[in-house]
Amino acid sequence: MDRYGSAFLDLDLDPPHIHLTTPWFQIAPEDILRLTVREIPHPTSFHPDFCSFDFFPRSIGGGDIYVEASLSMFKELGFIETYRLRRRTLARFLLMVQKGYRDVPYHNWSHAFAVSHFCFMLLKMPAVQHALNELERLSLLVACLCHDIDHRGTTNSFQLQSKTPLAQLYSSEGSVLERHHFAQTVSILSMEECNIFEQLTRKQYQTVLDHMREIILATDIAAHLRKVHKISAMVEEGYDRENTDHHYLFMCLLMTASDLSDQTKPFKYAKVIAENIYREFFSQGDLEKQMGNRPIEMMDREKACVPKMQLEFMDTVAVPVFDMLSRLLPDLRGTYHTMMNTRERWATMKDVVTEEGLPTGGLEYLRSTHLEEKVERRIEEQRSCAEMVR
């Protein structure tokens, strides 16, 4: 068992957290004070490049700063004013959401914040503001913050295979984890002190919950793949604001893109994130081995070749998502190109490690500057060859 294996062994054997029994006063009064006493800072006060799609949001600090920045995003998008969101309630809500995330390598609070940051950038775009109504936009931001609450660092198939308590609750409906994330969200909102939607009419409240349910369920990649042809048809037809199906499909696409937005960051960041993702996958693989099962290649630290896996994931899921998105929102072409640059580096790294027979077990080699230099050199060579052919 290596240094990553042991810490996550009991993750899925726990019963679901029941937030209803968690009293809100477990939130430290000084945290609420910190978030309510000052004027809400502008997003760029966290970093001058905060309002850029290329920005790596995790770089602004840790969990508490992410809560402050989330507050700032609510204000910048005008939600605090439009929906008369009470500052203390919003602060308690955000702190409860933060607490709802577990300390797993990838599906943690920093992932939720990074996803919400990308969504925030999308919601600032005039084209998105025109395409969706304000309740839909509010639902998207809140859904992003909550979409992985209480994730255990294991997949839906693991829940089913191991017959976890969550699988017993939700297996008949599919998307086991996503149903749990939504249920946890509702539990937090049902605490009076955390109900940021208290000023909404009954009808608006129901609408927001319906949207959030759909959006959070859309984060199951299996669900995305089942309806990707419908999203693609919408892109071909062109977005029609009068078409309610288009509203639903567009919200799902924005959510999926935000959830996968790490793939669009420059390679040095994408590598850091890949390491976190595979630390989580390999922990699951270790657990499966201990249970006497054989993990799939992606989860097996002895078999998985990360550059190869990343390339496959990008080609089958992420690239088509951002291709469709940038056709609907042409301002995202730059983001798409950054992603394709990152893809090129994964592809080249896969070639280099395969040709040179370099060991790809574990994750250490991803940090090798020697390997990185080789990759960059290879890309340079390929570019000059292409130039010469032209």
Q: Which residues bind Zn ion (CB under 5 A)?
A: 148, 259
107 catalytic? Reply is: yes
Minimum CB separation from Zn ion for residue 223, in Å? Answer: 13
Cα–Cα distances (Å) from 193 to 75, 96, 113, 202, in that order, read 19, 10, 22, 18
CB of 102 to Zn ion, least distance (A): 13
Q: Is 12 exposed, middle or buried (0-12, 13-18, 19+ CB in 10 A)?
A: buried
Distance in angstroms (rounded) separating the CA atoms of residues 94 and 99: 9
User: Which CB sits closer to Zn ion, 256 or 338?
Assistant: 256
**333: amino acid identity, one letter:** R
Which position among 17, 42, 107, 337 bears the catalytic label? 107
CB of 112 to Zn ion, least distance (A): 7
* CA–CA distance, 180 with 183 (Å, rounded to integer): 5
Residue 148 labeled ligand binder: yes
Residues 6 or more apart in contact with residue 260 via CB below 8 angstroms: 317, 318, 321, 322
In angstroms, give the least distance from the CB of 369 to Zn ion.
30
Tokens read off for 17: 């957290």
CB of 370 to Zn ion, least distance (A): 32
Is residue 346 within 8 Å of residue 314, measured between CB atoms? yes
> Is 310 flagged in the annotation as binding?
yes
Q: Residue 101: name the closest of 91, 117, 112, 116 by CA.
A: 112
Residue 337 among known ligand-binding residues: no
Q: Is 111 annotated as a binding residue?
A: yes
Residue 75 or 181 having the CB closest to Zn ion: 181
Nearer CB in complex with Zn ion: 148/300: 148
Secondary structure tally for the chain: helices H, strands E: 18, 0
What is the DSSP code string of 230-287? HHHHHHHH---TT-HHHHHHHHHHHHHHHHTGGGGS-HHHHHHHHHHHHHHHHHHHHH
| 211 has binding-site annotation | no
> Residue 89 or residue 159: which is nearer to Zn ion going by CB?
159
Which is nearer to Zn ion, 280 or 349 (by Cβ)? 280
Q: How many CB atoms lie within 10 A of CB 81?
A: 10
Determine whether the annotation assigns residue 331 to a binding site.
Answer: no
Residues annotated as part of the active site: 107
- Positions at the binding site for Zn(2+): 111, 147-148, 259
Positions at the binding site: 107-111, 147-148, 259, 310
**Sequence ranges of the binding site for AMP:** 107-111, 148, 259, 310
